[in-house]
Amino acid sequence: MNSDLSDSDYHRISDATMEHLLEFFENLNDQFDFNGFDIEYSVSQCKMSGVLTLKCGSEGTYVLNKQPPNKQIWLSSPISGPKRYDYDLMHKKWFYRRDNTTLDELLNNELSTIFGTKVDVS
């Protein structure tokens, strides 16, 4: 549960997640010639929040952002809509509590569909 995270642990884990996804998306961009594919990552000056935007051309845009007050990562998906993920220390994954799926499961499924090949952000 997110309440188990200290502020410093939240920032360390969420920053590592965002940086991992940024690197993964950049590598994905190198692998595919996907029209309209673009990645942007902006971090506030105090590095407390960050927004990662993944544009998938006509398929739509994903936006992931840190939500420090809630100790969550929020995702806006062009396919499944908005979701709020809490970090689970035991499983070491970001979970969407309404359906108990993980952030990486959702991204793997949706991006695999968009790119027409298996994608694994883990």
CATH number, position 21: 3.30.920.10
In the sheet with 72-77, reading across from the earlier edge strand, the strands are 37-43, 50-56, 61-67, 72-77, 81-88, 93-96, 101-102
Tokens 């991006």 correspond to 111
Domain count, the chain: 1
Helical (H) or strand (E) element with 108: helix 103-115
Instruction: Note whether residue 9 is domain-resident.
Output: yes
- The CA distance from 83 to 76, in Å, is 6
Q: Which amino acid is at 122?
A: S
**DSSP character at residue 48:** S
Instruction: Note whether residue 122 is domain-resident.
Output: no
Instruction: Note whether residue 119 is domain-resident.
Output: no
Q: Are 59 and 113 in contact (CB under 8 A)?
A: no
Does 8 have pLDDT greater than 80?
yes
Structure confidence at residue 1 (pLDDT): 47
Structure confidence at residue 47 (pLDDT): 60
> What's the Cα-to-Cα distance from 63 to each of 23, 43, 46, 51, 78, rounded to whole Å?
15, 13, 20, 7, 9
Structure confidence at residue 100 (pLDDT): 94
Does 61 have pLDDT greater than 60?
yes
Confidence of residue 46 (pLDDT cuts 50, 70, 90): low
Instruction: Note whether residue 121 is domain-resident.
Output: no
- Domain extent for 103: 2-114
Instruction: Note whether residue 120 is domain-resident.
Output: no
**72 vs 2, higher pLDDT:** 72
Least confident stretch, 35-49, 65-79, 83-97: 35-49
